[in-house]
């Protein structure tokens, strides 16, 4: 395919990038032009980019479902060094180590004014898309960020070890934070899926709540990881899981379920252990059905489907990392091995998060 790198040196003015180029195909390492920042934009020399199940979901869409445009440079978790400034940029300086806030909005609507650009009211209307999920992403040697508002200082945080916090940390943090009023002493939180996001959710729950944390997964290796990062109990998410949860809680219902898989069996499992006033939080990108109404769900229980998190919450996640309370389990791949990282992500053989380093 035109643009795919040979084994030799790159041509001057070009860079390596990991792109999704063909519907139903696999990611490819290609050679593209180094981008130039326009007015208000910032160019980063990328130090790290995360690979995510959301990428695999996007690449699984059919031609009728796919809306992101091709070719698409992947990577919605990104960090880098400020390399070049467009006209009018004053909020960052060349040489700054920064992380990219991914769910970018218009900056002017009510939600954006609160830092909740993940819920921007006008992003779709204005054609604003997150890096790697519509706009060119971080899985390249350089990337353009449309505003310095979307860059958060990393300071002394290692970009490779912490880049995944921009999604794998921020998304569970936002999901959990909304349930904090209910997660008081004596309560139980269940995390379904102890992989890239789930193992971070366990740490966040232990850091900011007094709840007992129960982790569920089909992989024994991920259950072992769940125990390592602080889960009080870790069970296989099989036909006996609900009964094991009831035994662990002494028969009391679960206060909050955080489902990072979100397929019908896990949704059904979450519903089976939820109780009155419980939160059932669907975080994964799967789709399922839940009964509602007086005979369909416990009284005053809620079902939420949060998306990413706010800019302010990302500052808070970084502070948890600086305090040593949250750490992402990472496996690092050079950019040329990005397709292999995605293959292992798809096969479920990664222990934590795959990080691509240019």
Q: Are 257 and 277 in contact (CB under 8 A)?
A: no
CA dihedral 79, 83, 87, 90 (to 10 degrees): 60
Q: If you count them, how many residues does the chain have? A: 358
pLDDT for residue 8: 41
pLDDT for residue 12: 67
Neighbours of 158 (CB within 10 A): 14
User: Do 14-167+309-356 and 170-304 show the same overall fold?
Assistant: no
Q: pLDDT digits over 191-237, tens only?
A: 999 999 999 999 999 999 999 999 999 999 999 999 999 999 999 99
Q: Where are the domains of the chain?
A: 14-167+309-356, 170-304
Which CATH class, in words, describes the domain spanning 170-304? alpha beta
Does this model's pTM top 0.75? My answer is yes
**CATH 3.40.50.300 for domain 14-167+309-356:** no
Q: Are 144 and 42 in contact (CB under 8 A)?
A: yes
- How would residue 11 be classed by pLDDT, with cut points 50, 70 and 90? low
SS3 state of residue 31: strand
Please give the mean pLDDT across all residues of the chain. 94
Q: pLDDT digits over 98-141, tens only?
A: 999 999 999 999 999 999 999 999 999 999 999 999 999 999 99
Q: Are 79 and 163 in contact (CB under 8 A)?
A: yes
- How far, in whole angstroms, is CA 284 from its chain's centroid? 10
Average pLDDT over residues 55-64: 92
Q: pLDDT digits over 271-330, tens only?
A: 999 999 999 999 998 888 888 777 677 888 999 999 999 999 999 999 999 999 999 999
């Amino acid at each position: 395919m035109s643009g795919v790198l040979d084994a030799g040196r790159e041509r001057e003015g070009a860079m390596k990038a990991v792109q999704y180029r063909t519907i139903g195909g696999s990611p490819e390492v290609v050679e593209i032009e180094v981008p130039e920042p326009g007015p208000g934009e910032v160019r980063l020399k990328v130090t790290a980019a995360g690979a995510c199940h959301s990428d695999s979901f996007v690449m699984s869409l059919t031609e009728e479902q796919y809306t992101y445009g091709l070719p698409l440079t992947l990577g919605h978790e990104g960090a880098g060094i400020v390399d070049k400034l467009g006209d009018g940029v004053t909020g960052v300086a060349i040489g700054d180590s920064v992380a990219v806030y991914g769910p970018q909005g218009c900056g002017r609507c009510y939600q954006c004014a609160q830092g909740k650009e993940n819920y921007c009211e006008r992003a779709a209307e204005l054609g604003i898309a997150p890096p790697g999920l519509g706009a060119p992403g971080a899985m390249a040697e350089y990337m353009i960020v449309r505003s310095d508002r979307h860059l958060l200082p990393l300071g002394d945080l290692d970009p490779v070890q912490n880049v995944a916090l921009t999604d794998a940390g921020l998304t569970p943090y936002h999901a959990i934070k909304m349930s904090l009023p209910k997660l008081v002493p004596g309560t139980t939180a269940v995390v379904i899926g102890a992989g890239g996001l789930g193992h971070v959710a366990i740490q966040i729950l232990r850091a900011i709540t007094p709840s007992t944390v129960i982790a569920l997964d089909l992989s024994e290796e991920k259950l072992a990881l769940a125990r390592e990062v602080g889960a009080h109990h870790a069970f296989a998410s099989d036909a006996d899981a609900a009964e094991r949860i009831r035994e662990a809680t002494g028969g009391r219902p679960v206060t909050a379920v955080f489902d990072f898989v979100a397929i019908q069996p896990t949704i059904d499992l979450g519903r089976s252990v939820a109780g009155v006033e419980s939160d059932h939080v669907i975080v994964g990108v799967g789709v399922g059905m839940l009964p509602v109404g007086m005979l369909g769900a416990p009284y005053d229980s809620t079902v939420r489907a949060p998306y990413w998190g706010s800019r302010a919450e990302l500052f808070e996640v970084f502070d948890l990392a600086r305090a040593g309370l949250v750490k992402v389990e990472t496996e690092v791949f050079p950019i040329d091995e990005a397709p292999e990282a995605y293959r292992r992500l798809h096969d479920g053989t990664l222990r934590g998060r795959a990080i691509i380093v240019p």
